[in-house]
Amino acid sequence: GAVVSQHPSRVICKSGTSVKIECRSLDFQATTMFWYRQFPKQSLMLMATSNEGSKATYEQGVEKDKFLINHASLTLSTLTVTSAHPEDSSFYICSARSSNQPQHFGDGTRLSIL
């Protein structure tokens, strides 16, 4: 069964709204979670690294005020896309790991902004 649960799997919303995506580790405590974005026909690109209890580290070119990441517990990280616009439409995937667990990926969230 899945060890990382990502929710929701699909979101369609209007431009200007904020969208929250959850990533949960089910069988282990994830000290680190990663958020990736995948545009159509492209590879996965890291957006940010999230360590429990500390601020996320963002990759160059990723706006931290637009993509808010919270990793308040060892089993949950959230990504909030604030004031979403059509260009934010993409596939967002999280992964989680711990010191004795390799990275496990969630099933992804397909975000469509109208």
Tell which one of 11, 34, 37, 79 touches other proteins (CB under 8 A). 34
Are 114 and 13 a contacting pair, CB within 8 Å? yes
105 binds other proteins (CB under 8 A): yes
Tell which one of 64, 107, 112, 114 touches other proteins (CB under 8 A). 107
51 binds other proteins (CB under 8 A): no
Q: Where are the beta strands (DSSP E) in the chain?
A: 4-7, 10-13, 19-25, 32-38, 45-51, 57-58, 67-73, 76-81, 90-98, 101-105, 109-113
Min CB(83)–other proteins separation in Å: 25
Are 15 and 94 a contacting pair, CB within 8 Å? no
Tell which one of 14, 43, 54, 65 touches other proteins (CB under 8 A). 43
Strand partners, 112: 12
Cis peptide before 8 (omega within 30 of 0): yes
Token pair belonging to 27: 């069988």
Stretch near other proteins under the rule CB under 8 A, chosen from 14-22, 63-71, 74-82, 93-101: 93-101
Min CB(107)–other proteins separation in Å: 5
Residues that bind other proteins (CB under 8 A): 32, 34, 38, 42-46, 49, 91, 93, 95, 97, 99, 102-103, 105, 107-108, 110
